[in-house]
Amino acid sequence: MGETLVGWKRSHMCCEVNEVMAGQEVTVMGWVHKRRDLGQLIFIALRDRTGVLQLALDGNNVDAALFEKVASVRGEYVVAAKGTVALRTEQNVNKDMKTGKIEIIIEEFRILAEAEVPPFQVADVGVKDDMRLKYRYIDLRREELQNIMRVRHITAQTVRRFFTDEGFYEIETPMLANSSPEGARDYLVPSRVHPGSFYALPQSPQVFKQLLMVSGFDKYFQIVRCFRDEDLRANRQPEFTQIDVEMSFIDMDDIIEVNERLMKLVFKEVLDVDLAVPFRRMPYAEAMERFGVDKPDLRYAVELKDISAFVKDGAFGLFTDAIASGGSVRGICAPGMASLPRKQIDALVEFAKGYKAKGLAWISVMEDGELKTSLSKFFAPEQLVGIVKTFDAQNGDLILICADAKNDIVFDALGNLRCEIASRLGLADKKALEFLWVTEFPLLEWSEEDNRFSAKHHPFTAPMDEDMAILEADPGRVRAKAYDIVLNGVEIGGGSVRIFQRDVQERMFAALGFTMEQAQANFGHLLDAFKYGAPPHGGIAYGLDRLVMSLTGTESIRDVIAFPKVKDASCPLTSAPSAVAEGQLVELGIGVVKEVPQGETEDC
């Protein structure tokens, strides 16, 4: 059984001890990171969240009981030590340790908790994800993850301080709300006292923060947990944290200006980087035309080129058919990739097919100027030279071309191919911070699945004033007062100026295919609030998790969340979700339908 702390108080954390304190007595506590035995000399690397500190014991100068106790500890034991700070000799200084100039000469020692041999060593970075997440409490002892959690804490506190200083109120909104027919799937919570009825966990506090503006609070923010029952990706989780902001009596420029100052402060506090403001702005249509995505990475110059006009009268049916059907022919120039073997070019073609492209045509501009291409049967040499000039391709470059009757497919394939090529070639400066506001998004987008328009962002986003007249006549052309903030090709936040007039909100619901009865049933609380005086308002929401990913340079959202879920939205640590007792289901009035294996029939 471990000893206790009775009579002992920690005086310093590990990395608070320094060479100025030489000769002082300290009491330190933590985990045994490593133990080295050199005969009568024992060294222990003691670890806490601040880092590692060396403890030393000379068996010739202490009694046998103390020596035996220190010699018995193993990795991850929790211990406490009292001792005197001593300077290391010059040849023993460890320049890789923050505390490498000192050590603590142990005088008293307690083993607070023993530890079994862990399933992996804390310093081992090669552990598989499923093992790391099953034993997350061990994984979180790693210096890298502890630093990420520190950055997350500093970021959240900086955000709170900034908005408080700007006159915002932090107000909590409900976790149990009504289900929304728009957006991602909801997580549902059954109500015991209302049998057959369900709450929904919030995908966003959107309606509530608008109601707070109607309530007259003027400026609101909240760091809030949100939930979406959707397929996971590298930068998504079923539960995530949002920095939620709303302001009254503003326009888009007001919101952008405040949030640029927020980003400037956060990056100064966390990374000691001075951001230049204002950030660049780019309309959605321009972002798609130039980069194929609405969140372009501006750290490299590879851009899409539209060659539809150049090839529309050519002999290549795939090109001419795509253009005749209302689509386009576009491409990108991959610098220095002309010598790529055919097998690797085919791999890029398969990559594009993963985004629904039918394939890619290609032109290799060899170092001697010779053109090798899959288009040689369809275009004369002078036509091929003209295409090469359109891309401003240099000797050694590779041109990749995509055609489709749907521009969305061309943009998606080339936009993602652009990022893939940049990744392979290392084109992005990892130290660069390229912020961008993407503006003027489409208000609506056509849903093939639902055979109707759906909201590009959400149904409360205001149309551009000059497009209001075509909301019913040509809804697909209406632009929104919406804006996303993008950092190095990652959307870290997005928002909009909201609809604040009941008649405009009713027109928006009608454009989405809602009857007035359906609109009232789902959003009557907001529509009714608008009858009693709503101010012009708008806001933004950041993904705190994605922001911390950008600040720490991590590629997986799991690394910035203390206890994340895996791809199927389960938790390896707690085994959630799990079955519950039959009595709980009966109390809630819920029956679970058991899945019958294919080919079998359920007994009656």
Third-level CATH fold of 146-283+435-560:
BirA Bifunctional Protein; domain 2 (3.30.930)
Going by C-alpha positions, the residue among 353, 391, 351 that lies closest to residue 371 is 391
**pLDDT tens sequence across 290-301:** 999 999 999 999
Per-residue confidence band for 181, with pLDDT thresholds at 50, 70 and 90: low
For 152, 235, 261, 565, 575, the CA distances from 556, given in Å and listed in that order, are: 14, 6, 27, 12, 21
In the chain, CATH 2.40.50.140 sits at 14-113
Question: DSSP H helical segments within 174-283, as ranges?
Answer: 206-214, 252-271
- Residue 601 pLDDT: 53
272-276 — which CB contacts under 8 Å span 24+ positions? 273/433, 275/433, 275/435
Going by C-alpha positions, the residue among 479, 478, 317, 474 that lies closest to residue 405 is 317
The two tokens of residue 64 are 């046998």
User: Mean of the pLDDT values across residues 314-320?
Assistant: 90
For 140, 422, 489, 552, the CA distances from 555, given in Å and listed in that order, are: 17, 16, 13, 9
Distance CA 83, CA 27 (A): 7
Distance CA 597, CA 380 (A): 59
Distance CA 231, CA 254 (A): 35
- Residue 452 pLDDT: 86
Give yes or no for residue 31 having a pLDDT over 50. yes
Question: DSSP H helical segments within 197-353, as ranges?
Answer: 206-214, 252-271, 284-291, 308-311, 317-324, 342-353
- Residue 183 pLDDT: 63
CB 365 within 8 A of CB 388: yes
In the chain, CATH 3.30.930.10 sits at 146-283+435-560
**Beta strands 398-404; 361-365: pairing state:** antiparallel
**pLDDT tens sequence across 144-162:** 999 999 999 999 999 999 9
The two tokens of residue 527 are 């529509």
DSSP 511-524: HTT--HHHHHHHHH
Give yes or no for residue 234 having a pLDDT over 80. no
Distance CA 244, CA 170 (A): 10
Distance CA 252, CA 482 (A): 8
**pLDDT tens sequence across 86-138:** 999 999 999 999 999 999 999 999 999 999 999 999 988 889 999 999 999 99
For the chain, the first-to-last Cα distance in angstroms comes to 56
Per-residue confidence band for 604, with pLDDT thresholds at 50, 70 and 90: very low
CB count within 10 Å of CB 501 equals 12
**pLDDT tens sequence across 421-470:** 999 999 999 999 999 999 999 999 988 877 888 899 899 999 999 999 99
Span 300-425 CATH architecture: 2-Layer Sandwich (3.30)
In the chain, CATH 3.30.1360.30 sits at 300-425
Going by C-alpha positions, the residue among 597, 593, 576, 575 that lies closest to residue 585 is 593
Class assignment of domain 14-113? mainly beta
Distance CA 159, CA 169 (A): 12
